[in-house]
Amino acid sequence: MLSYPTVRTSLIFTAIALVGLLFADIAITAANPWKDLGRFFLGVVTPDFFSTQGLATALLRTVAFAFVGVALGSVCGFLLALVYRAYPVRIFCAFIRAIHELFWALIFLQFFGFHPLTGVLAIAIPYSGIFAKVYSEILEEADPEPGRLLPPGTGVISAFLYARIPDCWVQIRTYTAYRLECGLRSSAILGFVGLPTLGFYLESAFSQGHYSDAGAMLILFYVLIATLPLWVKPKLLPVYILGAPFFLGDGMPIVWGNVTRFFTEDIVPSPLKNEEGWAGMGTWLGDVFVNQALPGIWNTVILTQIALVATGLIALLAFPLISTHFGGPIRRTSGHVFLVILRSTPEYILAYILLQLWGPSMLPAVVALALHNGGIIGHLIGRQSSSIALRPDAPTGLNRYTYELVPRVYRSFLAFLFYRWEIIMRETAILGILGIYTLGFYVDSAIQNIQFDKAMLLILITASLNIGVDILGRFIRRKLALQTMPTC
């Protein structure tokens, strides 16, 4: 069995995670974690939909930011996809998508403040980068045949619109719709840094122990995402997109001088600003690297590797819940509901909840990342396993699981896992804002100390780390000849 490269890769990664566990800070520090967890679940089953003022507005804003952000992102992404062959464009896109929405929001907050543009751009920019990449892949895979059949002299634009687009239109539409769901999640968590979306109220309700209010918000959020196919219809889309900008709220007016100041003063490294020259710059860089970047990178990598393997375990355990090869329709329906809840809850919110309940350590982050990502991958390979036709005399139960299904879905399972590697790392970094000592913690500290030069440097380091893992992940997928479709 060890001769299989997929098995070898899995074992290597498991070993890395196990070694990581030795160094990781895993603990439940709360005195009564289960009592609090109980109170939280009690809150979820006794939701109070009316106590939070402005909850309806918050939901509306969440949807509005998602629509405007994703729409803007998809248009820019599409335009970038047309020139995606150019190397600088690729690098640019890799770079903007390597920075998490919350980091973008934290950057824009410094000069746009609480203006709707902050939230819109925080979603639109990283999404442009992702759209550009995926759209260009879809366009590349389009059948070239229709183009060859066009009469000579057909314009480039006409050829593109009539011969290329129709072939991939369905895929583009499906992916964009899928991205809208991701956009709703992104939009919700932007509230955690102060934008007027759901996260704003969720954070307040949680931090004050108002679990019934928090439960109500979570339930509304799940309903919103689960009913997405019902209320997002192609015909209604223009109405939503045109209407959404009016529901972003007023915020505060932009002062353009702040923008100039941010780029020409705030983010200039302080030794250069204070004219301490390159010697001062060296000390400054050394200090940031040794005291912030390195511990941040170390914790981010450890947490990512543990979360990656935990994600894999959850996915492998969860996929039978919705597979047609196991259980009856009732089991499968509840399995579906369970997995929808897992993948609809952003890691950030899950981690936030668990941190409140269990106290600070890497454990809440690992569990949150594993549940959310494991839910997504479990859902995808569960669906795939249902399409496998087994022999009538195939074994049942555990043998069916271990000998029939897992080997058949294992390659796509690994493909999804390595695809999500970079996503898990991006989220791991951002969870630092909640107080786990990953890179996000140091970025947040720098921002809290009004040291934007440090914050920007640390964000750039985080982005490079993500790009590195993305490249490594793609290399491994190519080595193992794994193919996958994009997830978010």
Partner 1 sequence: MLLNLIRKLAAASLLVFIASATASAQTLVFTAIPDEDETKLVERFKGIADYLSGELDVDVRYIPVKSYAAAISAFRNNQVQLAWFGGLSGVQARELVPGSEAIAQGVEDTAFYSHIIAHKSTGLDEMENLSDELRDKTFTFGSKGSTSGRLIPEYYIREAFGESPEDVFARVGFSGNHTRTLRLVEAGTYDVGAINFSVWDKEMENNNIDTDAVKVIWTTPSYPNYQWTIRGDVNERFGEGFSQRVQEALLAMDDPALLESFPRSGFIPVSNDAYDPIRVVGKQIGIID
List the one residue from 24, 120, 182, 188 that touches partner 1 (CB under 8 A): 120
**Residue at 448: amino acid letter:** Q
Q: Does residue number 115 form part of the binding site for partner 1 (CB under 8 A)?
A: yes
How far lies 104's CA from each of 123, 456, 463, in Å? 8, 11, 11
Q: Does residue number 165 form part of the binding site for partner 1 (CB under 8 A)?
A: yes
Footprint of partner 1 on residues 20-49 (CB under 8 A)?
A: 25, 29-32, 36
List the one residue from 55, 62, 110, 211 that touches partner 1 (CB under 8 A): 110
For residues 163 and 142, what is the distance between their CA atoms, to the nearest angstrom? 9
Footprint of partner 1 on residues 297-336 (CB under 8 A)?
A: none
Least distance to partner 1, CB of residue 360, Å? 5
User: In the complex with partner 1, which residue's Cβ is closer, 421 or 437?
Assistant: 437
List the one residue from 55, 109, 189, 430 that touches partner 1 (CB under 8 A): 109
Q: Does residue number 360 form part of the binding site for partner 1 (CB under 8 A)?
A: yes
Segment lying near partner 1 (by CB under 8 A), choices 178-186, 316-324, 445-453, 461-469: 445-453
**Burial label, 354 (beta-carbon count in 10 A; 0-12, 13-18, 19+):** buried
Q: Does residue number 242 form part of the binding site for partner 1 (CB under 8 A)?
A: yes
Q: Does residue number 445 form part of the binding site for partner 1 (CB under 8 A)?
A: yes
Q: Does residue number 147 form part of the binding site for partner 1 (CB under 8 A)?
A: no
Least distance to partner 1, CB of residue 70, Å? 10
Q: Which x/- pattern over 186-205 shows residues binding partner 1 (rule: CB under 8 A)?
A: ------xxx-----x--xx-
Q: Does residue number 258 form part of the binding site for partner 1 (CB under 8 A)?
A: yes
Least distance to partner 1, CB of residue 358, Å? 8
Segment lying near partner 1 (by CB under 8 A), choices 133-141, 246-254, 334-342, 404-412: 246-254
For residues 227 and 296, what is the distance between their CA atoms, to the nearest angstrom? 39
User: In the complex with partner 1, which residue's Cβ is closer, 70 or 318?
Assistant: 70
List the one residue from 58, 182, 198, 244 that touches partner 1 (CB under 8 A): 244
User: In the complex with partner 1, which residue's Cβ is closer, 74 or 186?
Assistant: 74
Segment lying near partner 1 (by CB under 8 A), choices 11-19, 40-48, 353-361, 480-488: 353-361
Least distance to partner 1, CB of residue 113, Å? 4
User: In the complex with partner 1, which residue's Cβ is closer, 247 or 410?
Assistant: 247
Tokens of 189: 């968590």
List the one residue from 245, 280, 327, 486 that touches partner 1 (CB under 8 A): 245
Q: Does residue number 146 form part of the binding site for partner 1 (CB under 8 A)?
A: no
Taking a C-beta distance cutoff of 8 angstroms, is the pair 414, 480 a contact?
yes
List the one residue from 49, 92, 95, 114 that touches partner 1 (CB under 8 A): 114
Tokens of 388: 């496998």
Least distance to partner 1, CB of residue 380, Å? 28
Q: Does residue number 50 form part of the binding site for partner 1 (CB under 8 A)?
A: no
Residues of this chain that bind partner 1 (CB under 8 A):
25, 29-32, 36, 68, 71-72, 74-75, 109-111, 113-117, 120, 161, 165, 192-194, 200, 203-204, 207-209, 238, 241-242, 244-246, 248, 250-255, 258, 270, 359-361, 435, 444-445, 447-451
